[in-house]
Structure 1
Amino acid sequence: MRELSPYKRECAPHDLANESNRIKRACFGQPALLGASQTIEPNWLTPSLSSVPSHNNSASPFAISDSASPFPPSLDPQTAGNEVQEDTIIESSNDYELCCFGELLIDFISAAKLEQDNSHVPVELRFSGNAISLYVEGSGKYAGRLESKGITDLMQTYQVTLVTTLSCPSVNKKSTDAIQTSKTLHIVVYGFLKDMNGIGDSLEESDLFLQHPTEYDNRLEYLNPQYLLRPGSSIPRADDCIFQALPDRQSSDAVLEEKSKSQVHQVFDSASGPSFFFQVQQSLRLRTSLQEHQQKALAMMAEKDCGLIANTAFPSLWDRYTESDGDIKYEQAFPGLVVWTNTLVCGGVLADDMGLGKTLSTLALISWFLDLVENACLPESCRTTLIVAPNSTIPGWQEEIDQHIFQDQIRVILYHGSSRDQSAKSLTEYDIVLTTYGTLQSEWKLRNEESPLFSNTWARVVLDEAHHIRERSTQTFKAAAALRTSRRWCLTGTPIQNRLDDYGSLLSFIGVPPFTGKSTFDYWIGKPVTGGRPEGLARLRRLVSATCLRRTKDSVRQALSLPARIIRECSVQMDREDRELYEFFKRSASHLIAGMDAADSDNALANGNILSIINTLRLICNHGQSLLPDFAIQAWGKRSYQAVDSDLTVTKPGMCYSYLDEGHQALLDSVVCPRCANGSDSAMNNTAVGIEGNYQPSAKVRALMENLMVEQRSNSCVYSSKPIKSVVFTFWVKMLNLLEIALHKAGFRDDSCTVMIATIGSIGEGVDLTAANFVHFIEPHWNLMVEEQALDRVHRMGQTRDVVATRYITDDSMETRYAR
């Protein structure tokens, strides 16, 4: 780390009394990533040192005389040496030329009251670790405190000067109470030209973006490292920029509202590709003839696999661009964003509904590619495809390879388990290497440079059930991103579950510029969409159409002769005892909330106290007391609301991290999730489990048994050649035990196994349940996409009968609120 200057925090005073009405939050073509493959070639101009002030400038942080410069003499280019950063891609003899890099805007909350309300107050920054305290220049009055590791890292790593002002909203000056108000810290960043790209990358990593400055020293060159340019062009002067207000803070991490979610799903469902396209010759390695929609998938994947950007049949991110000298080039364009890059994007997302043959389409692509290699149309140096899949889907891949590929036409090896070391050195001798996310993550954690997964370069990497990488901070995502390949494919029937960044993570893995960074995706796509701005959906639609192919079952039902899918609801009335129990805990929740102020309510939500009662109500809807934890039963026995509140205050439910990436669902189900519940049976009331003689089914279970009986009675008279089979899904592990008792008591003991019971999370991937055609959901799931995934295991290609799904809803309960 280079030596820090004691003058780096100096800020020149500003007299901005006349500028307050003209200063606005600005965004103009910002932010965007500057990748290593992108080269900026601006017309370097010597900055004018005219003494005529800019109309955007009431005071300059740099005076014309050397004595007034905020930089110490040691930073003079004559004495600073010839140090040049290795990652700097701009070569210039003016490496130590002073530049303005733009303005940062940081919002924070502070109760500090300032006399200059609703104006820009010059402040100085005092650092303590990542904490930054703000003090009004001159008076030294405390103005607030915030934390920003990005700003701290910037100060410690680069020789910069920060000119800082604080904007404050108007407050009631007669009030003597401290009021928590939102304030915005404006930071104009100045530094040396040689540090330009490093500063831009450092800020990007911390989710900080440089805007066009509303005021700066116009005698210095303005060069924003996060502003993308086509070769030969230069950044417009801030004077000429059109400023517009930024929207309220939104994030692609946020759970989508129902309206936004519906709009986003419509965007994906419309990405079905063109009606006319050039068919790719199916390889003779395939023994299965492709359906029409699979032929289109092969055509799209072959086109994207080659990185074609000209004369494409499928939508492209790239627009044709003619330079002044007549040369034809291509650029990726959105309104307000232009990305120029020499990096080809090879790959994409195949997002067909579950059961439409994404595996077969992928095998068709690999077979087509191998034909090209063997016919010398492509170099043979790299021919191996790495397929990463959940452990549960590996047998499915092996079965489909055997089913669809002629014997000995494709060499396949499984890299998984304790025996994988024996095959490590020979993986590239095979055409397909199958491995699991668990194996990938395990070898990534070891940082083993000899791991064949990370040391080999693959012809392509295919992620099956790619929503496994939708959380960017996980080891799984980082491991997948570290794989060496020029072609990256994502297979998933659910590119969006609850959050828009589920899709953003896939783009980052594929390497679609400039959306490899979350902040850029948030700025251009996430925030406009979640903020309800129409340009957000327009951008998303173009991005999805150019990177995804998705067909729903409804869109191909006629072509595939898929049977119908029928969804029905079964309303259930609670038994009298269960209703009394339900109303008691419902009133307990009301007592708990009524005794809190707003801050306590938020804490109770975060700590799981209120959510624990919510889940208690869910359990009662299923099976009365039989599923409740001990503390709940004891409180009910005493009829004591205080006992409920007290136990909830002491109880700190553990978070099940396997559900964290399901947004709202994570919080609600973390109190007792299926995987945690299996290990917490000691906290449950076990009197009913295993004692069939004393078992009394709940109203829901009785309704289920009646429906199963009707279904099974129709076995002989309707489908004589194929028995009726039913699948029953529940969220709670403990509920499976109760269902097993109820089934035995109802006479379902046949060895032919016509009824299957399972937790809804255990059946989400890699399971073909087309042998069944009746589905039962004991309780509504918070995330309807989870129900869809389970149902799609039954209603898919290969199903020959109409599929009937029944959802059991308890009347006059919280289930009716989120299930209908």
Structure 2
Amino acid sequence: MQKFTLQAKSDHILLSFHDGTQFGYLRDNMTDALKPHLTSEDLSFEAVASTANLHARIAKVEKQGDAIVHVDINIYGPRARAKTLGEDLSNKKVWLQKPDYYKRQYPYENPHLIRFPDLEHKVLEQIVQDVQAPEPVLPQATVNTVQQVVSEVQRSLHRADDLDREDGDERLRTRLLDHQRCGLTFMLQRETGDIPEEYRLWRPALYEGQEMFIHCITKQRSTLRPDEKGGGVLADEMGMGKSLAILALIIRTLDRAREWADRHRSDEQSHSGTHTYSHSTLVIVPSALLINSWENEIRLHLGESLTVKRYHGQGRERRVDVLAASDVVVTTYNTLAADSAAKKGSPLHKISWYRVVLDEAHFIRRVATSFYRTCSTLEANSRWCLTGTPIQNRLEDIGSLFAFLRVEPWNHRHQFRKHIAAPFENNDPVVIERLVMLYESLVLRRTKDILTLPGQDVRTRDLELSKEEREQYKRTHNILNRRIRHVPGGDEAEDKFGLFQAELQLRILCNHGTWQKLFSWEKQDLVDEQEARFVDAGVDAEANCAGCKQPRPILGSNRIYNQFIEGCSHMLCAECLEDCSGESTSINSCPLCKRFRKSNAATEPSSPDESDSDEDTPMADAEDQSTAQLRKRDDAYFNFQGHSTKMEALVSDVKVDLQTTKSIIFSCWTRTLNLVEIYLRRNQIPFLRIDGEILLSKRQKILNEFAEPDSRERVMLMTTGTGAFGLNLTAANRIFIVELQWNPTVENQAIARAIRINQQDKVIVTRYKVKETVEQEIESQQLRKKMAAKVGFVKDDEEMEDL
């Protein structure tokens, strides 16, 4: 939570950080209403805003008119002033609302609160108690962060230990592991409602001498046992086979699904229903690449036992009867949202599905997005959320998943806020007990600790810079240090930028050695800075796509690291770029800018420079692209010759057992990968490459080629952000991390793509660290973050502060 001070100026009210740094000013109507009261001795004002919301909003600013953020202003003063102050604010068209955050030691009084005298006295008394309840005095050990709460909840769970092991259907070609058999039991219990008594949320009890069912969290009462079936959340860690577990459920219940659809179709004929009932399972995934993954999984584990329909692309099947006749339909969040916004609507919303499955379900954690709205309005008998991170930054993340499941009363989001989120914000320890009950009933969460995986060996290679590299490192350090210390009148933002640039340039120099030209403040290049910032922001960082307007993960997107040739600031997600790509391997020109140029030039003859022939021509293969990139290497960035201790060590390690192993080389910087290419070519080592510029459809082809046992290319080059998102990399058993990252979770996510249940060999991870450089501080920072991030993630606030 960020707090600001307010200061009256001649024509506005200025908001500043507590150290005096100016932040912004209030709008005119707020200034007119509050300015007369700022100097009152018996009133004090406090402006507060969510740090995460501030970062998210500021990140979206593209022009001056966008630079508007929401800030709450709390007013403290004697109760006697409430009435007159309220009247004055009302006259200025400003009304007080109940704040989300305020000093709980003070009773809350709102003169603008609408009161209802006819309500029973007891109800009013309870409202007053809820509003005025002081912050509870908690024991020292009480948790107060999301990480600690989730960690404590997960340690308290034991339902996974009590589950029987259901066998898979005979049509399933793959033998289920024990944890997947337990997962199948859990899902069958949730879908049939045959749930053990201790894991139900509605439990029998005597109330005033009458047998009733009482909700163990909300304390609602019912004379009849409420139905608790309908789906749940499968929240196993990444790489534990959640998709196989769902496929085992689909094939096991296929006959039951057909009976359900037939029964409702008969009712539909007699009641003229508006939906077509289908036995099918609809699977929604983040990208076309994951559609490929699901299709491959179905072929691998079920052969021809299921009919699968791919609902994606311009020529997709839109006939409702054809879609409803398939056993499985796979689509993307983007496609579903785009269809819903179209005039004809989505045919997927005209079907009542037997089951809807959200893969990477945290995509709907924000209820304001069309992803959430379009998914939640689908009709289905049961609903499942697959995600390794059901809670990423806020407890409300999993509240959104519960709302999607339509489990009473959590389909009403205010109930989750009242009983879970609000107690957490008030440091009420009851939140852990309640979350445990919710998890035990609706969520199955296991970690890889229960599996016997090949695992990983991690080693760090400590390197010494050569004499020439050390000299350039010192010169670069001196240039940066001198500039930062001697810039006159610099503000805090400039100072932070200077420090970030200094750290960035020294990190890059550790990779490039004397290939790197000496840094100049007059010739800064923002590409490296963008790449570092986005990777440091983490796997959960998002930006709004300029095409579909949806918040999409920054990592794994196509064009987030680089600029279109137009030099515009448009960020387009991988799905929107895929729709614009045709057969191209990558896109150099911004589709939005191109559309604007076409609309402006509709009445003018086109010139050769404006033709689209280049963009519609298929690009060369990956190796030719790499050669072209090297040939066009920026002379202002690299020297023509140089030496890199880190590159020499890397290639030396890659050459060991080259023909009997497969390796992935990760770097967050595309220019570092360009330099790696030079060294690999010099040593005649064939390789493939995937980075942010390779479209999703092409990535799958490259991955398939790399996965071939007899493939000529034994090495894959990959940007760290791309590897951390949506890929299965089990073909590799050696991982090389070229540079350490401030955010260790990005490295871990990339590595985890290779360590999955179908990995046969131990994965050897090699990290490179240059001694007596900035990389030593990064290693220390990683250790501190790993200690803090006990459940596998770090809060956004901490990540943004590091930036």
**TM-score, normalised to structure 2's length?**
0.62
* Residues 506 and 240 of structure 1: CA distance in aligned 2, closer, same or farther (over 3 Å): closer
* Partner of residue 413 from structure 1, selected from 278, 298, 309: 309
Deviations 1:670-706 (A, max 9, x none): 99998444448999x9899499995434222122122
Matched with 2:654 is 708
2:730 touches 2:753 (CA, 8 Å); kept in 1?
yes
The residue type paired with residue 727 of structure 1 is: I
The residue type paired with residue 133 of structure 1 is: A
* Residues 146 and 353 of structure 1: CA distance in aligned 2, closer, same or farther (over 3 Å): closer
* Partner of residue 776 from structure 1, selected from 736, 746, 762: 736
* Residues 456 and 609 of structure 1: CA distance in aligned 2, closer, same or farther (over 3 Å): farther
In the TM superposition, what is the alpha-carbon distance from 1:648 to its structure 2 partner?
9.8
Matched with 1:402 is 299
* Residues 588 and 220 of structure 1: CA distance in aligned 2, closer, same or farther (over 3 Å): same
Matched with 2:247 is 363
In the TM superposition, what is the alpha-carbon distance from 1:601 to its structure 2 partner?
1.6
In the TM superposition, what is the alpha-carbon distance from 1:403 to its structure 2 partner?
2.3
Matched with 1:816 is 779
* Partner of residue 374 from structure 2, selected from 464, 473, 479: 479
* Residues 693 and 300 of structure 1: CA distance in aligned 2, closer, same or farther (over 3 Å): same
In the TM superposition, what is the alpha-carbon distance from 1:338 to its structure 2 partner?
4.5
* Residues 598 and 416 of structure 1: CA distance in aligned 2, closer, same or farther (over 3 Å): farther
Cα distance in 2 for residues equivalent to 1:588 and 1:693: 19
Cα distance in 1 for residues equivalent to 2:401 and 2:454: 32
Cα distance in 1 for residues equivalent to 2:102 and 2:187: 35
1:760 touches 1:787 (CA, 8 Å); kept in 2?
yes
Cα distance in 2 for residues equivalent to 1:219 and 1:473: 27
Cα distance in 2 for residues equivalent to 1:224 and 1:570: 72
2:204 touches 2:211 (CA, 8 Å); kept in 1?
no
The residue type paired with residue 461 of structure 1 is: V
1:563 aligns with 2:457: no
* Residues 664 and 435 of structure 1: CA distance in aligned 2, closer, same or farther (over 3 Å): closer
Matched with 1:621 is 510
1:573 aligns with 2:439: no
- Report matched runs for 1:462-541 at 5 Å: 462-497=357-392, 502-511=397-406, 525=420, 534-541=429-436
The residue type paired with residue 345 of structure 2 is: E
Cα distance in 2 for residues equivalent to 1:682 and 1:711: 45
2:159 touches 2:440 (CA, 8 Å); kept in 1?
yes
The residue type paired with residue 572 of structure 1 is: L
1:699 aligns with 2:590: no
Matched with 2:766 is 806
1:292 aligns with 2:238: no
- Report matched runs for 1:280-679 at 5 Å: 280=166, 282-307=168-193, 311-312=196-197, 315-324=199-208, 326-333=210-217, 338=219, 346-374=230-258, 379-380=263-264, 381-389=277-285, 390-405=287-302, 407=304, 409-444=305-340, 446-497=341-392, 502-511=397-406, 525=420, 534-557=429-452, 562-583=453-474, 586=477, 600-602=491-493, 605=496, 610-624=499-513, 626=515, 633-635=519-521, 662=539, 675-679=559-563
Structure 2: gaps (5+ residues) = 10-25, 50-72, 88-95, 138-142, 265-276, 545-552, 568-628, 688-710, 784-803
* Residues 588 and 351 of structure 1: CA distance in aligned 2, closer, same or farther (over 3 Å): farther
In the TM superposition, what is the alpha-carbon distance from 1:539 to its structure 2 partner?
4.1
Cα distance in 1 for residues equivalent to 2:473 and 2:371: 41
Matched with 1:77 is none
Cα distance in 1 for residues equivalent to 2:337 and 2:738: 35
SS at match of 1:563: coil
SS at match of 1:775: strand
In the TM superposition, what is the alpha-carbon distance from 1:527 to its structure 2 partner?
7.3
2:720 touches 2:746 (CA, 8 Å); kept in 1?
yes
| Structural RMSD (CA) | 5.4
Cα distance in 2 for residues equivalent to 1:525 and 1:219: 26
Cα distance in 1 for residues equivalent to 2:361 and 2:397: 10
The residue type paired with residue 249 of structure 2 is: L
1:564 touches 1:803 (CA, 8 Å); kept in 2?
yes
Deviations 1:58-93 (A, max 9, x none): xxxxxxxxxxxxxxxxxxxxxxxxxxxxxxxxxxxx
Deviations 1:139-176 (A, max 9, x none): 99997889999xxxxxxxxxxxxxx994159xxxxxxx
The residue type paired with residue 290 of structure 1 is: L
Q: Between the two proteins, what is the percent identity of the paired residues? A: 27
Which has more helix, going by share of residues? 2
* Partner of residue 745 from structure 1, selected from 670, 682, 685: 682
* Residues 281 and 770 of structure 1: CA distance in aligned 2, closer, same or farther (over 3 Å): closer
In the TM superposition, what is the alpha-carbon distance from 1:515 to its structure 2 partner?
5.7
Cα distance in 2 for residues equivalent to 1:572 and 1:530: 46
In the TM superposition, what is the alpha-carbon distance from 1:413 to its structure 2 partner?
0.7
* Residues 748 and 323 of structure 1: CA distance in aligned 2, closer, same or farther (over 3 Å): same
- Report matched runs for 1:207-246 at 5 Å: 234=123, 236-237=125-126, 243-246=132-135
In the TM superposition, what is the alpha-carbon distance from 1:305 to its structure 2 partner?
2.6
2:737 touches 2:766 (CA, 8 Å); kept in 1?
yes
SS at match of 1:617: helix
SS at match of 1:419: coil
Cα distance in 1 for residues equivalent to 2:677 and 2:685: 9
The residue type paired with residue 684 of structure 2 is: G
In the TM superposition, what is the alpha-carbon distance from 1:736 to its structure 2 partner?
1.6
In the TM superposition, what is the alpha-carbon distance from 1:551 to its structure 2 partner?
2.0
Cα distance in 1 for residues equivalent to 2:536 and 2:370: 15
Cα distance in 2 for residues equivalent to 1:592 and 1:472: 46
* Residues 405 and 689 of structure 1: CA distance in aligned 2, closer, same or farther (over 3 Å): same
In the TM superposition, what is the alpha-carbon distance from 1:471 to its structure 2 partner?
4.6
1:725 aligns with 2:662: yes
* Residues 215 and 774 of structure 1: CA distance in aligned 2, closer, same or farther (over 3 Å): closer
1:755 aligns with 2:641: no
In the TM superposition, what is the alpha-carbon distance from 1:790 to its structure 2 partner?
1.9
Cα distance in 1 for residues equivalent to 2:511 and 2:402: 40
* Partner of residue 76 from structure 2, selected from 146, 167, 182: 167
Cα distance in 2 for residues equivalent to 1:219 and 1:130: 22
Which is greater in Rg? 1
Cα distance in 2 for residues equivalent to 1:141 and 1:709: 75
1:393 touches 1:765 (CA, 8 Å); kept in 2?
no
Cα distance in 2 for residues equivalent to 1:523 and 1:323: 24
1:282 touches 1:364 (CA, 8 Å); kept in 2?
yes
1:134 aligns with 2:31: no
Cα distance in 1 for residues equivalent to 2:255 and 2:102: 47
* Residues 754 and 282 of structure 1: CA distance in aligned 2, closer, same or farther (over 3 Å): closer
In the TM superposition, what is the alpha-carbon distance from 1:358 to its structure 2 partner?
0.9
Cα distance in 2 for residues equivalent to 1:246 and 1:223: 30
In the TM superposition, what is the alpha-carbon distance from 1:367 to its structure 2 partner?
2.2
- Report matched runs for 1:67-216 at 5 Å: 109-111=5-7, 133-134=33-34, 166-168=75-77
In the TM superposition, what is the alpha-carbon distance from 1:500 to its structure 2 partner?
5.2
Deviations 1:773-814 (A, max 9, x none): 111111223333332222222222222222211122232314
1:437 touches 1:476 (CA, 8 Å); kept in 2?
yes
In the TM superposition, what is the alpha-carbon distance from 1:386 to its structure 2 partner?
0.9
